Amino acid sequence: MSRDDFSEYVAARWPSLVRSAVLLGCTHAEAQDLVQTALERCLMKWGKVQAADDRDAYVHRVLINIFLSGRRRRWTSEKPTATLPEQAGSDHTTSIDDADAVMRALDRLPSDQRTAVVLRYYAHLSEQQMASVLDVAAGTVKSRLSRAVKTLAQDPDLAELRGSR
């Protein structure tokens, strides 16, 4: 087992893994904690990760399993934040509004569809990789994505981003 190989993997994938966790529904701080926990588990079994057909799919599977396990145990109605809304700067209101609209739309998706959207359109995993990560058939992945995309296409919060009202 090479710690250098693990360190290189973490350095290259950290931002992408954190963003995936944010898109799954974590705050930025929660996402960093989640990714750190996932990578700690992967480090303990780094030989197995290296032997996997697809390291990224393996690590994403660990990340999602930890995320789902944590959501089952915790009450998540209140989300802590580093900055209070009245302290946030107004220079980037359009991008913040757009991000908020996307996050609200993702929040309304069932967790299996939201996970599929994050893995496909943010993590850029193939349908086969997603099937492996989620431990489902490729057809199930396709149907989850299809339903999610249909729901997002009809979401009123995303109408302005699509250029329609």
> Could you tell me the two tokens for 46?
């780094």
pLDDT band (50, 70, 90) for residue 35: very high
- The answer to the question of residue 86 being in a domain is no
pTM: 0.62
pLDDT given at position 82: 65
How far does Cα 106 stand from its chain's mean position? 11
- The answer to the question of residue 87 being in a domain is no
Among 30, 45, 76, the domain-final residue is 76
> Could you tell me the two tokens for 65?
């399993």
Instruction: Please choose, from the candidates 18, 44, 41, the residue with its C-alpha nearest in 3D space to the C-alpha of residue 31.
Output: 18
Note down the domain range covering 116. 93-164
- Integer Cα distance of 103 and 108 in angstroms: 9
Q: For residues 97 and 68, state if they share a domain.
A: no
Q: Is there a contact between 133 and 60 (Cβ–Cβ < 8 Å)?
A: yes
> Could you tell me the two tokens for 42?
């992967």
Q: For residues 158 and 131, state if they share a domain.
A: yes
Instruction: Please choose, from the candidates 4, 6, 16, 7, the residue with its C-alpha nearest in 3D space to the C-alpha of residue 124.
Output: 16
Q: For residues 99 and 131, state if they share a domain.
A: yes
pLDDT tens string 20-31: 999 988 889 999
Q: What is the CATH number of the domain that holds 134?
A: 1.10.10.10
Q: For residues 98 and 131, state if they share a domain.
A: yes
Q: For residues 127 and 63, state if they share a domain.
A: no
pLDDT given at position 99: 78
What is the number of domains present in the chain? 2
Q: For residues 2 and 63, state if they share a domain.
A: yes
Mean of per-residue pLDDT scores for the chain: 84
Among 29, 47, 76, the domain-final residue is 76
**Element (DSSP H or E) covering residue 103:** helix 93-108
Q: Is the pLDDT reported for residue 80 higher than 70?
A: no
- The answer to the question of residue 84 being in a domain is no
